[in-house]
Amino acid sequence: MANHKSARKRIRRNEARAVINGARTSRIRTFIKKIEVAIASGDVKAAEEAFKVAQPEMQRGVVKGIMKKNTVARRLSRLSARIKSLKTA
């Protein structure tokens, strides 16, 4: 257990941030699942709408330090490619 006042404060702050970061991560996952469901159902319009809503949320996760930049870029690219393949199919 921490003995310094600043270390105790840091522990409290870390716990608070963990709750906030967990909520943000969960929110991003939910947006991704909405895209996945739309893709699975074959609804191009719904998939595109869900993608447009999810994209800024995922980018915000990068800014807030929850996800790495390349991870988000990779996921967005793959989701976009899957939506694009629905259009051609």
> Which of 10, 35, 6, 22 is closest to 64 using CA atoms?
22
Determine the Cα–Cα distance for residues 82 and 52; give it in Å rounded to an integer.
14
pLDDT at residue number 88: 85
Amino acid (1-letter code) at residue 76: L
Segment 71-89 shows an average pLDDT of 94
Q: How confident is the model over 40-58, as a mean pLDDT? A: 96
Tens of pLDDT, residues 3-44 = 899 999 999 999 999 999 999 999 999 999 999 999 999 999
pLDDT (mean) for 53-71: 97
Q: Which two tokens stand for residue 24?
A: 């943000």
CB-based contact 57:49 (threshold 8 Å)? no
CATH of domain 5-88: 1.20.58.110
